[in-house]
């Protein structure tokens, strides 16, 4: 287990971080950042940036003409960038709403001036094929926004029927993959999805600080018709020449890139590409299955429908008579887990992340299960 000690930050840094992001990162990714800060025009950054962009297409399973973007920022910034480059004022937008982060992107589309319709399902469930079909037929959206895994509920939606229905009405599809990318199977090119976005601190396996998106050729075309209506810092037309320059082996400047994180990104994506995306998705599936089995043995109930439970996290109801104090009890055994997030239900469940590096380390998974087990058992004695 990586033990983090520092003369400056001796406190709390030996805990195992098992929240749904940020997560534990691999020793190789950490080592990649243990260098002097490089310039954005250095050979190291030019090489790493170019390779990272090519590797993003491989990890996203995207078409060759899709454009990856690496931006300094967060998942929320990636969402905002996707909305601003694809949604025009007055567009009809359909949000497939499975929780807290779907609410957020719906609000972004409203602020953008779109007419927003939401297909909202009860917490812990995913929309049915009939509900989706009805919503597409009724609203005929220009853009569809959906959260691949909603981190508040642990629900994973199936992107395939959404992409198929979108094709029928000519809509663009944007998927928030912040809690899914590189953990849940998503074949961007085969699906025909238009934007798949994430942030560095989740299953990609870096610290927070990068917004990562891949846009299809169709999405890039849609941007063209928006003219100058896109705030400059979000604008694909400002960022794209920079990405193209790095991929072509040179540097270009619009706004200073997060150079150290780009070195780390190249390494993290390299680990995923070397393992193979199929193996990566299967690893997350196997780890999630083992976690779910452990929770069943402990009598912990999932928040939502097990049929749509994500592989990247568990959302678990507190046992009867127990509340958020359980989180501190788990932490006393050296493992950090997260509280509930869905509005109105925060006090009724907690969340355990299982994505990225920890899923390659059986002893981290065992430590997590054991910490939860001891905390739960202590509430019964």
- Which residue ranges make up the site for ligand PMP (CB under 6 A)? 21, 74-76, 101, 147, 150-151, 176, 178-179, 199
Q: Which is nearer to ligand PMP, 151 or 358 (CB)?
A: 151
Rounded to an integer, what distance in angstroms lies between the CA atom of residue 278 and that of residue 112?
Answer: 37
Q: Are the C-beta atoms of residues 193 and 67 closer than 8 Å to each other?
A: no
At closest approach, how far in Å is the CB of 81 from ligand PMP? 12
Provide the CA 310 distance to its chain's centre, in angstroms.
12
Closest CA to 166 of 147, 139, 187, 148: 139
At closest approach, how far in Å is the CB of 83 from ligand PMP? 12
Closest CA to 219 of 88, 104, 110, 96: 88
DSSP, res 34: -
At closest approach, how far in Å is the CB of 370 from ligand PMP? 26
Cα distances (Å, whole numbers) of residue 172 to 178, 220, 344, 358: 19, 11, 32, 34
Rounded to an integer, what distance in angstroms lies between the CA atom of residue 234 and that of residue 328?
Answer: 39
At closest approach, how far in Å is the CB of 373 from ligand PMP? 26
Q: Which is nearer to ligand PMP, 147 or 368 (CB)?
A: 147
At closest approach, how far in Å is the CB of 300 from ligand PMP? 21
Q: Which is nearer to ligand PMP, 200 or 367 (CB)?
A: 200
Nearest residue to ligand PMP, scored by beta-carbon proximity: 75
At closest approach, how far in Å is the CB of 306 from ligand PMP? 20
Q: What are phi and psi of 279, to 5 degrees?
A: -65, -35
Partnered with residue 335 across adjacent β-strands are 16
Q: Which is nearer to ligand PMP, 56 or 376 (CB)?
A: 56
């Amino acid at each position: 287990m990586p033990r983090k000690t520092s003369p400056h930050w001796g406190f709390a840094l030996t805990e195992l971080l098992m929240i749904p992001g940020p997560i534990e990162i691999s020793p190789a990714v950490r080592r990649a950042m243990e260098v002097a800060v490089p310039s954005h025009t250095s050979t190291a950054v030019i090489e790493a940036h170019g390779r990272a962009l090519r590797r993003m297409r491989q990890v996203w399973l995207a078409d060759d003409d899709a454009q990856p973007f690496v931006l300094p920022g967060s998942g929320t910034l990636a969402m905002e960038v996707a909305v601003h480059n694809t949604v025009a004022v007055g567009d009809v937008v359909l949000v497939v709403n499975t929780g807290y982060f779907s609410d957020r992107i719906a609000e972004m589309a409203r602020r953008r001036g779109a007419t927003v319709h939401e297909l909202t399902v009860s917490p812990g469930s995913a929309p049915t094929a009939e509900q989706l079909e009805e919503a597409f037929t009724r609203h005929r959206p220009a853009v569809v926004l959906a959260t691949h895994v909603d981190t508040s509920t642990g629900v994973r939606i199936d992107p395939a029927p959404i992409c198929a229905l979108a094709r029928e009405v000519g809509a663009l599809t944007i998927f928030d993959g912040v809690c899914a990318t590189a953990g849940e199977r998503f074949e961007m090119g085969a699906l025909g999805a238009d934007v798949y976005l994430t942030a560095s601190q989740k299953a990609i396996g870096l610290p927070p600080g990068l917004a990562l998106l891949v846009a299809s050729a169709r999405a890039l075309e849609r941007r063209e018709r928006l003219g100058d209506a896109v705030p400059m810092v979000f604008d694909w037309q400002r960022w794209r020449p920079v990405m193209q320059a790095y991929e072509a082996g040179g540097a270009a400047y619009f706004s200073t890139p997060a150079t150290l994180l780009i070195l780390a990104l190249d390494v993290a994506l390299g680990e995923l590409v070397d393992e193979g995306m199929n193996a990566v998705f299967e690893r997350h599936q196997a780890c999630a299955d083992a976690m779910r089995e452990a929770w069943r043995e402990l009598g912990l109930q999932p928040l939502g429908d097990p049929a749509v439970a994500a592989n990247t996290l568990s959302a678990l109801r507190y046992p009867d008579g127990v509340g958020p104090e359980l989180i501190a009890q788990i932490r006393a055994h050296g493992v950090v887990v997260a509280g509930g997030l869905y509005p109105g239900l925060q006090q009724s469940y907690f969340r355990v992340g299982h994505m990225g590096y920890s899923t390659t380390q059986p002893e981290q998974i065992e430590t997590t299960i054991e910490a939860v087990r001891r905390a739960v058992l202590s509430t019964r004695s």
